[in-house]
Amino acid sequence: MQNMLSFISVALRGAAKNKVSTVVPLWSRSYASFTPQATFDIKPCELHRLDQGPPTQAVLTREEGLSYYRTMQMMRRMELKADQLYKQKIIRGFCHLYDGQEACAMGIESAINVTDHLITAYRAHGYTYTRGVSVKEIMAELTGRRGGVAKGKGGSMHMYAKNFYGGNGIVGAQVPLGAGVALACKYQGNNQVCVALYGDGAANQGQIFETYNMAALWKLPCIFVCENNKYGMGTAVERAAASTDYYKRGEFIPGLRVDGMDVLCVREATKFAADHCRSGKGPILMELQTYRYHGHSMSDPGVSYRTREEIQEVRSKSDPITLLKDRMINNNMASVEEIKEIDVEVRKEVEEAAQFATSDPEPPLDDLCNHVYYNEPPIEVRGTNPWSKLRSIS
């Protein structure tokens, strides 16, 4: 032990003498000492109108695990920062946070292609990030700044990116839109699929069932995903639905009920669903059983219709980020220090994004009516006002 301490002391003195700026931490290990990949047993899916479902084992590589962890941790920290900024009245209007449901977004994104399409409801921050939008652009959009992904005009519920169609504020309305995107995929014959997401509250909307019918009739390559987080606004699913088997709601559409708190379960189920759609069999329905830690929106404390003990129990037993971290550490796929280093990097990036989101200027008034059309208005409309000439008189 004395020899080891002497060696460390000499090494540190040598580094100082030679003005070495970084000293390799004593806990560091070579990448070769980590397990490159491991196979995990995952919870089997419940099936509807399917003879066979997704596999009950999933292979995870070290690189995938670290990437998934970083992405989910980024979503979590981004939402916690949004909560803080909202309470400081820097973010205004509607704001629906996604913390607790990170495995859904990460699992889906890891199983589809960047050329595939995705559309979701108003709890959209996580999917905006997995679809390739930076934290800085998301935070700036939340604060209504010019550098936001929608130039500060959309806010929390209306964010868009390539092959990502929002963020939609009308309950359930994104589902028929998603079927329309899937119709375009089939019409163009590009072998792409569309993932259309909605919550357990929206699952009772009539337009959802109309869309099921059209998608099944036309065999559209659409993955309908019900993110069942147990509560629609402030109402438990048992009080709102005669049947809470959301994966069976498509009747004639095959369905899967998936553990939405396990990123590997979601990934394998989504791969299965995407293969189903690409093979020309038509749509498929997935119910992801998940949980939101915050209330429905920022105006909902989230504890009047459920107990704090219930929330804490989910956090302690089923947290998707903790589950992935424990798997990796327990199977020698990552070290505790490595995970902590990712956490520090994520916190720093989120803080820098928040700084940008509070200092970037708001869009000018002249910009108010721009971007209504993709390019320019297609025709002159008689009697309309020249909105682009608006000026502030305040």
For residue 368, give both structure tokens.
């108010």
Region of poorest pLDDT, from 178-187, 260-269, 362-371: 362-371
Burial of 81 (0-12, 13-18, 19+ CB in 10 A): buried
End-to-end CA distance of the chain: 73
pLDDT of 386 > 60? The answer is no
CB atoms within 10 A of CB 260: 29
* Whether residue 57 has pLDDT greater than 80: yes
Q: If you average pLDDT over every residue of the chain, what do you get?
A: 91
High-pLDDT (> 70) share of the chain, %: 87
37-363 in CATH: which number?
3.40.50.970
**In angstroms, rounded to a whole number, what is the distance separating the alpha carbons of residues 206 and 204?**
6
> Tell me, what's the pLDDT at 388?
52
- Please list, in sequence order, all residues whose beta carbon lies within 8 angstroms of the beta carbon of residue 387, skipping any fewer than 6 positions away: 368, 369
pLDDT in tens, 61-76: 999 999 999 999 999 9
Domain with CATH 3.40.50.970 in the chain: 37-363
